[in-house]
Structure 1
């Protein structure tokens, strides 16, 4: 049953400081090289020689199990996996180079600004924070919310969010799960009664195992991986108790990249949409792909996906989520900047 809403608590300026520091810092990435096939040409005729394709590298957060090769597991990455991307990209003058993996969203923005990657898929919270702080990051698409969020507790600990009063909660500051965690704690009436600590998921797992923190909100697929070897209770699920807090993803590029290659938006959407349609056509095959790629249990992948994908680059539900995120960042004092989410996606 959904808990009653309450106004967000006092400003949390620390979130913005942490995320903006991350945006200013360089981050290393593990990239998997994609194959590129050069188009054939007729050497006897310059007019018959096609223009060279512009290579693009895609970046995004990666939270798979150790030993797995990082890969994009969203609709764009699934289209790559199925062999649908090359032709679609080539129609717009691009070729796929590979995927670069990052710990979270802010370093992806940094890599876009430096030109290390040309497209980044990240959560709406770090994307909105970057845009509201006047970083030139045109949106190529704003997706419909598609993935669940779970709030996990430690073994032998509490069994409800309300019981977290006086406990310690790990949040990945500046992420979608930071926004979700604070809102859920606020609705339960315990936000001002818990100690919040900033931890990446890679650090939050051992902290939860050792009992150094009492709860962590995170993507349902990642939660499923953690629960393979740990008896962590699920305190609440966004899809069941707080569906209005479901997060989404935003496809970004840099302003310079878009000015140089204005066809990029149409190219990315074509590949993303092809992947989304393939997902909807066969849930089981997609769940198996995500399981094989990340190590997440197939049944968790099937349960975590909401199986809804937009039919246009600026999905109305996605734009509504971005708008609520901008309001959240203002309410918490994380940003004072503003912009029109309805006009963010470029043509």
Structure 2
């Protein structure tokens, strides 16, 4: 049985990736250099901005981690770009806001565990797995829901799920795409007939072109892009109830203990940003396309604005999140079950 190892960039050892121990990864994070807001510097595979440990009893710097491109997308990214985040948080006493970019959720989890972040924006699967291990985080917000995952095949390769038997399929383990792939194979009753290997999304196109893998379970934007490049699409999570993903914003309990008003204030900021990006959709799509380097038509397909939540806990998002949690627990991928209501941060 597959099992997630929280805090590592991969879950199983394979030809595509090697694992760092938690201690080594934390050392790498501590070696990063502090930067001002909007700047980015690299440390190994993690691009981080000021992730040094901060005394939470005298907080003047808010440390935010996110998974993705050079800048965050969605309401968080828009709040940053438009100055909403800085303007409103300075009113709350935060003199600095720093951002750390991570290649995937498990790496961001490491920084949360190490006390190097206050807030994290990541996918549902790594966030749930971390909480299920008893790590003290609180759910602030479902920022996006019904995020589509895609199963894309190599050219001249399989064209159906049945043809994947005996084949090697890759995905970014620990992600919502991984959870989709596991659920999909379970639905097709072939979970033991397919070998799943870890591969970062940045390596997916080259691996498919070389024929290293028969198919790749990928993200909402890379899927349509690969399709536009002639790679056949076998399936998408949009065809299966409960297999699409959600994007979450979480915070550490140690941070919230010192900032009890933060959930309400931060959610108000992201709600304002969500409404603003919808009201200025063309400008937002230009921004999103610029930072992700995908054509704008791909962004419009992969990021429909109806998926962006204007409220912290939309009913459809909560239902999807509960289904994801139950699946991860039932498969032994999440260590223990917990109530979502107990995970949600209270707004003072």
Measured after TM superposition, the shift of residue 189 of structure 1 is 3.2
Say whether the 8 Å CA contact 2:256–2:262 is kept in structure 1.
Answer: yes
From the superposition, tell whether residues 169 and 345 of structure 1 become closer, same or farther in structure 2 (CA, over 3 Å).
Answer: same
Say whether the 8 Å CA contact 2:173–2:199 is kept in structure 1.
Answer: yes
- 3-state secondary structure, aligned to 1:273: helix
**Counterpart residue number, 2:193:** 193
Measured after TM superposition, the shift of residue 227 of structure 1 is 5.4
From the superposition, tell whether residues 256 and 87 of structure 1 become closer, same or farther in structure 2 (CA, over 3 Å).
Answer: same
- 3-state secondary structure, aligned to 1:251: strand
**Counterpart residue number, 2:254:** 256
From the superposition, tell whether residues 315 and 344 of structure 1 become closer, same or farther in structure 2 (CA, over 3 Å).
Answer: farther
Structure 1: 5+ residue runs without aligned partners? 1-11, 37-51, 65-69
User: Quick one: distance in 1 between partners of 2:280 and 2:183?
Assistant: 34
- 3-state secondary structure, aligned to 2:242: helix
Q: Larger C-alpha radius of gyration, 1 or 2?
A: 1
Q: How do 1:213-232 and structure 2 match up within 5 A?
A: 213-226=213-226, 230-232=229-231
User: Quick one: distance in 2 between partners of 1:205 and 1:267?
Assistant: 41
User: Quick one: distance in 2 between partners of 1:82 and 1:59?
Assistant: 18
Say whether the 8 Å CA contact 1:105–1:127 is kept in structure 2.
Answer: yes
User: Quick one: distance in 2 between partners of 1:35 and 1:263?
Assistant: 25
Measured after TM superposition, the shift of residue 136 of structure 1 is 0.7
Say whether the 8 Å CA contact 2:152–2:227 is kept in structure 1.
Answer: no
**Counterpart residue number, 1:247:** 245
Q: Which moved further from structure 2: 53-62 or 131-140?
A: 53-62
Say whether the 8 Å CA contact 2:106–2:126 is kept in structure 1.
Answer: yes
Measured after TM superposition, the shift of residue 110 of structure 1 is 1.8
Matched, 1:114 2:114: yes
- 3-state secondary structure, aligned to 2:151: strand
**Counterpart residue number, 2:6:** 19
User: Quick one: distance in 2 between partners of 1:173 and 1:145?
Assistant: 20
User: How many residues in Structure 1 have an aligned counterpart in Structure 2?
Assistant: 311
**1:180-214: CA deviations, max 9, x gaps?**
01111222333222111122223433322211111
TM-score by length of 1: 0.81
**Counterpart residue number, 1:55:** 61
Measured after TM superposition, the shift of residue 224 of structure 1 is 4.2
Say whether the 8 Å CA contact 1:148–1:238 is kept in structure 2.
Answer: yes
Matched, 1:318 2:317: yes
| Higher RCO, 1 vs 2 (CA within 8 Å, ≥6 residues apart) | 1
Measured after TM superposition, the shift of residue 123 of structure 1 is 0.6
Across the aligned residues of Structure 1 and Structure 2, the Cα RMSD in angstroms comes to 2.5
- 3-state secondary structure, aligned to 2:212: coil
Say whether the 8 Å CA contact 1:105–1:175 is kept in structure 2.
Answer: yes
Say whether the 8 Å CA contact 2:86–2:97 is kept in structure 1.
Answer: no
**1:266-306: CA deviations, max 9, x gaps?**
23212211221122213222211110011011101101123
Say whether the 8 Å CA contact 1:88–1:270 is kept in structure 2.
Answer: no
Say whether the 8 Å CA contact 2:137–2:253 is kept in structure 1.
Answer: yes
**Counterpart residue number, 2:233:** 234
Say whether the 8 Å CA contact 1:146–1:306 is kept in structure 2.
Answer: no
**Counterpart residue number, 1:345:** 344
**Counterpart residue number, 1:291:** 289
User: Quick one: distance in 1 between partners of 2:152 and 2:287?
Assistant: 25
Structure 2: 5+ residue runs without aligned partners? 10-20, 40-57
Measured after TM superposition, the shift of residue 226 of structure 1 is 4.7
TM-score by length of 2: 0.81
Q: How do 1:69-88 and structure 2 match up within 5 A?
A: 70-88=70-88
Matched, 1:139 2:139: yes
